[in-house]
Structure formats: structure tokens, C-alpha cells
Amino acid sequence: MDTKKKRILIFDTTLRDGEQSPGASMNLDEKLRIARQLEKLGVDIIEAGFPIASDGDFLAVQQIAREVREPQIAALARANLTDIDRAWQAIKEAARPRIHTFISSSDIHLKYQLKKTRAQVLKEARAAVAHACAYTPNVEFSPMDATRTDWDYLCDMVEAVIATGATTVNIPDTVGYIIPDEFGSLIDYLFKKVKNIRKAVISVHCHNDLGLAVANSLAAVKHGARQVECTINGIGERAGNAAMEEVVMALETRKDFFGFRTGIKTEHIYQSSRLLTHITGIPVQPNKAIVGANAFAHESGIHQDGLIKEKSTYEIMTPKSVGISGTHLVLGKHSGRHAVSEHLKKMGYKLTAGDVKKVFLRFKELADIKKEIFDEDLEAIVYEEVYKIAERYKLIYLNVVSGNVAIPTATMQMEVDGKTVQDAGFGVGPVDATFAAIRKITKTNYHLLKYVVSAVTGGTDALGEVMVQLKYNGRSVAGRGAEPDVIVASAKAYINALNRLEFLKGDVKKVKVV
Ligand code: KIV
Ligand code: ZN
């Protein structure tokens, strides 16, 4: 393998490491939607999941392998035969399957977690790679906690797995510990000491505990790494993984410095970020690079003056290059279906005629109460009307009384398994009362982890967007709702979380182990 090729492979692990973020659990349909978006974005490899982890994970990886044909589909497996067999079963129908197997290599992990010697672990790493290679020549190996591993032992392990057949060797900074210069030196060291290193692609996988995941990934690229593992919006275990959009735009914007290209179609970055936020309910901080609400907002007068004279004075990349249209004001109540349909296309949505019809009906309802409809409003409608999941629970009506003299009371009617049920709830405020009514009607009592309200656009007539996170079985499940009335939006978000939770349970039940 010629590691000097001027191309960096983008390995996306949003569906595996990203899904390990608190609150990021996704159901099968949602994972498929993300995988299709990643394909559209042009990622080289999708790590679709960890099939041994649960039947739901297995099924999702299998379905993605069947349906998403352009990128390579990787499945994660610990370095043992059972995990590897299960991973292969999940991806064997992929156009280009990859098995990604890993074992810890640092003395801390060996002593306290694995309770094994270096020699034992080296043997297991080789055996795992050999077993995976019997299924496919496309095998990736990761020595977990590589950056806290003795460098010479790491070299021995990398050399051994390449000799056994691994075609990609990933160097993970599992606990986000290393510093960019140091990581560059480690990659140099591997290239100097590992005799067969040019037979494999060297990959990096950085966590963001010290806020250095992107910087470390880029340092590694500068020193010879040719695959970067990352996630959309940087979601992932603890402080997250390297953010894909940041890695890609750094390589793109500073081609002069790095001299590499990726296969990413950068104009799909923003939509990918928004899709993930909608599905997981995990918001992006406003000052987040590339995809944050303020990433291209210029507040200071001096900057604005410069921009008017010449964009490049203060803009190192254009919003358009990452898919931010810049045209926010769209339509009003006199706009017809054709105009709405054309605008949805411009925003990047490929919808069927039936979907456009549903979106248009909601658009008309909203246009009656809100003068101007913005891109963000249309986006919220698309997510509610087109991308909705099967609903066990539906809101029929909600009436809330609140104020500083009455006890906040919510009277509510819902459909539960096709039957109409009604009840009332009291609370310390209108939202609390609404959630109490929902709990009574659905006979559920999940712990509420998070409740966040934001305005989709400016103005008091803006859609209120609510995100609710419920705790279920040690996992957290998000739901969202968007309505001009924030109490109704809150009810919809809570009900959406309950439906998503049912869906997650269903994924697990539906599984037929192959
Ligand atoms: O962070 C890590 O070490 C991982 C490995 C499984 C690659 O996620
Ligand atoms: Zn990781």
C-alpha cells in the first residue's frame, strides 16, 4: 500500500463510537437514515456498529450493509472468535465489508482490565486478525489505548498484525491524552521502527478529553497517517471524538499546508450535522466550528466593514462550501406547492410527491399563524412529517391552565395503541402538569434527564423547538417537537421520546439471530 497517495480516507464512526454518547441512542430506521446521509456525504468507511453488543446493533449493521452500497461498511469486534464471527455475520452482504478488531495494549489496561501479559495479548491480537482475515482481506486492527502504550511494544504489535494480514492499523488515543507534537513523534516512530508498516494504511482515532482530538488527528496526518476516524458534530464517548466537519474543512481550507484531499462532498456537511441533531436531540453549541449557529456570523463593526469590501478579509471558507445556504427568508402564506417543493430541493431534500404533500399541508397551517416561513421552519416540518417513526402514542388535544393564581393543570386526550384515552395532570408549571398527564395516560414513569427549549427562528411567533431526554434501561432516549406553542411542542417532544423508546425496545425484540 502506497501511503504517499494524496488522499485521506474518512472513516466515520458516528453510528458506533458516536452512538456511545449519552443520549445518542438511535433506532434502526434512524441509523439507516444517518448511514444514507454519510454515503451522500462521501465518507469512505462507515463503522455501522458493534454487532456483538446487542441484537439491535447486529440488525442495524446488517441492514446498513445490505442497503448502503457505496462506502465500505465496518463492524467492530473485540479480539475474540465469537465477536469476529458475529461481526462477519452482520456485514457479509456488504458490497465492501471490513472487520475492525481491537484489543488493549497499554500496561494500565493489561494489568487492571485484561489481567494478561504483553505476550498473551500479542498472541490474541494475531489470532484475532488471522481469524478475521479468513473472512475478508479487509481487516482493521486497533491497539486500544495505544497512546499510553510502551512505544516499542506498540511497534511489535503493529508489525505482528500487519504480518498476519491487517490492511489498516488504527492508533487510538482512547482517553484523549496525547498532545499533537507528541502524537506526531509517535507516528514517526512507528514509521521508523515497524518494518512492514507501508503494507498497511495507518489510521488515527482521537478522543477529545483535552479538546485536542482534531489537532491530534491533523498532526498524525502530517506525519503519515492516511485514515482519520471521526464523527459528525464530534459526538462520542465522554468529550467525544474528532469532529468530521472540522478535520475535513481543515484539510480542505489548508490544502496548501497539508497537501491532501478527502472524498467528502463538503456541501452536504451542514445537512448531515442537522440530521444528527434532529435524530439524537444533542444540540451543537453556537460557537462550534463549521456547523455552529455563529460559525459564520460576524458581529464586530470592523469585521463587517471588511467583509463588505472583500469577503476574504475575515472569511477563510464560505458558508456555501459547507452547505449553509445563507438565504433564510423563504416563503409566506401565498406560496404554492411548487414553490415549497422547489425550495425543499434547494435545501437538499429529495422527497416523494406524497412527502411534499404532507410538508405542504403543515406549511400552510403554519403560514396561517406565522407571517414568514424560514428554512429552519421548513426543516422542522420535514423532520416531523416525513422522518417520523411509527407511533404507539399520539397527541389528540391538550388544554393547559396556568398562571400565578391557578394550580397549573393539563387536560389531555391521546391515542394509545389505537384507543382514545384522556386524563388530567397537575404540576408546578404548565410543562410539569403536561408531563404528569402524559405519564398517567401512558402509564409510564421514565426519569426525565433533560428538557431544553429553543426558538427555531427569531421573533415571538417563532416555532418553539423542544428536546426531551428520558432514561431507559441505563440509556437515554431523546425526543423532539416543534410548534408555535411551546407547551404543545413540549408534549410532542415527550410523546416522541416515548415512541422512540418503544421503537428501541422493538428493535431488540424483532431480532432473528442469524
Ligand atoms: O477509543 C477507542 O480506542 C476505540 C477503539 C475501539 C478503536 O473506540
Ligand atoms: Zn473511541
What pLDDT is stored for residue 265 in this prediction?
98
Ligand 1 centre to CA of 246 (Å) is: 20
Residues 6+ apart with CB under 8 A from 46: 12, 15, 35, 38, 39, 64, 68, 71, 72, 73, 74
Ligand 1 centre to CA of 321 (Å) is: 31
340, 486: one domain? no
Please provide the DSSP assignment of 439-492 as one string: HHHHT---EEEEEEEEESSSSTTSPEEEEEEEEETTEEEEEEEEESSHHHHHHH
469, 337: one domain? no
CA nearest neighbour of 40 among 260, 281, 296, 323: 323
Q: In whole angstroms, what is the distance from residue 120 CA to residue 137 CA?
A: 24
What pLDDT is stored for residue 473 in this prediction?
78
Ligand 1 centre to CA of 494 (Å) is: 33
The angle, 0 to 180 degrees and rounded to 10, between the axes of the packed helices 269-280 and 375-385 is 50
What pLDDT is stored for residue 457 in this prediction?
66
Interval 302-324: pLDDT, tens: 887 888 888 888 889 999 999 98
The CATH number linked to 54 is 3.20.20.70
The CATH number linked to 473 is 3.30.160.270
Is 205 touching ligand 1 by the criterion CB < 6 Å? Answer: yes
Contact of 154 with 193, CB cutoff 8 Å: no
165, 313: one domain? no
Residue 497 within any structural domain of the chain: yes
What pLDDT is stored for residue 17 in this prediction?
96
Task: For residue 497, count other CB atoms closer than 10 A to its CB.
Answer: 27
Ligand 2 centre to CA of 230 (Å) is: 9
What pLDDT is stored for residue 2 in this prediction?
43
149, 131: one domain? yes
Percent of the chain with pLDDT over 70: 95
Nearest ligand, CA of residue 50?
Answer: 1
CA nearest neighbour of 392 among 374, 376, 415, 375: 415
Is 142 touching ligand 1 by the criterion CB < 6 Å? Answer: yes
Residue 22 within any structural domain of the chain: yes
Residue 427 within any structural domain of the chain: yes
What pLDDT is stored for residue 509 in this prediction?
38
Is 172 touching ligand 1 by the criterion CB < 6 Å? Answer: yes
Q: In whole angstroms, what is the distance from residue 324 CA to residue 117 CA?
A: 52
Which residue CA neighbors atom 2 of ligand 1 most closely? 174
Ligand 1 pocket, mutate which of 57, 83, 100, 144 (most atoms under 8 A from CB): 144
Ligand 1 pocket, mutate which of 21, 99, 142 (most atoms under 8 A from CB): 142
Is 446 touching ligand 1 by the criterion CB < 6 Å? Answer: no
Which residue CA neighbors atom 8 of ligand 1 most closely? 17
**Kind of pairing, strands 168-173 and 139-144?**
parallel
What pLDDT is stored for residue 508 in this prediction?
41
Residue 428 within any structural domain of the chain: yes
Interval 351-393: pLDDT, tens: 899 999 999 998 888 888 777 787 778 887 888 788 777 789 9
Which residue CA neighbors atom 1 of ligand 1 most closely? 174
Q: What is the helix (H) or strand (E) element at residue 301, kind and residue range?
A: helix 301-309
Locate the ligand 1 atom nearest the alpha carbon of residue 229 and give its number.
7
Residue 372 within any structural domain of the chain: yes
435, 418: one domain? yes
Three cell numbers written together for 67: 442497503
Is 132 touching ligand 1 by the criterion CB < 6 Å? Answer: no
What pLDDT is stored for residue 140 in this prediction?
99
CA nearest neighbour of 215 among 187, 178, 172, 167: 178
Ligand 1 centre to CA of 471 (Å) is: 25
Is 146 touching ligand 1 by the criterion CB < 6 Å? Answer: no
Nearest ligand, CA of residue 170?
Answer: 1
Residue 275 within any structural domain of the chain: yes
Ligand 1 pocket, mutate which of 174, 206, 237 (most atoms under 8 A from CB): 174
What pLDDT is stored for residue 506 in this prediction?
60
Domain of residue 322, residue span: 297-385
Locate the ligand 1 atom nearest the alpha carbon of residue 146 and give its number.
3
311, 275: one domain? no
402, 376: one domain? no
Locate the ligand 1 atom nearest the alpha carbon of residue 102 and give its number.
6
Domain boundary among 385, 410, 443: 385
For 410, the 3-state DSSP assignment is strand
Q: In whole angstroms, what is the distance from residue 427 CA to residue 358 CA?
A: 35
Q: What total of structural domains would you count in the chain?
A: 3
Which residue CA neighbors atom 4 of ligand 1 most closely? 174
Burial 90-114 (b: 16+ CB within 10 A, else e): bbeebebbbbbbbbbbbeebbeeee
Q: Which residue has the cell 431523546?
A: 478
Residues 6+ apart with CB under 8 A from 144: 102, 103, 104, 105, 106, 109, 172, 174
Ligand 1 centre to CA of 174 (Å) is: 6
223, 115: one domain? yes
Residue 481 within any structural domain of the chain: yes
What does each of the 514 residues of the chain score in pLDDT, given as a tens digit? 444 459 999 999 999 999 988 778 888 989 999 999 999 999 999 999 999 999 999 999 999 999 999 999 999 999 999 999 999 999 999 999 999 999 999 999 999 999 999 999 999 999 999 999 999 999 999 999 999 999 999 999 999 999 999 999 999 999 999 999 999 999 999 999 999 999 999 999 999 999 999 999 999 999 999 999 999 999 999 999 999 999 999 999 999 999 999 999 999 999 999 999 988 888 899 899 999 988 988 777 888 788 888 888 888 999 999 998 765 556 777 888 888 888 888 777 888 999 999 999 988 888 887 777 877 788 878 887 887 777 899 999 999 999 888 899 999 999 999 999 999 999 999 999 999 999 999 999 999 988 988 876 666 777 788 888 888 877 778 888 888 899 999 999 999 999 888 877 764 433 333 2
Domain boundary among 221, 252, 280: 280
274, 301: one domain? no
Domain boundary among 280, 309, 340: 280
Locate the ligand 1 atom nearest the alpha carbon of residue 17 and give its number.
8
464, 361: one domain? no
What pLDDT is stored for residue 269 in this prediction?
97
265, 411: one domain? no
358, 446: one domain? no
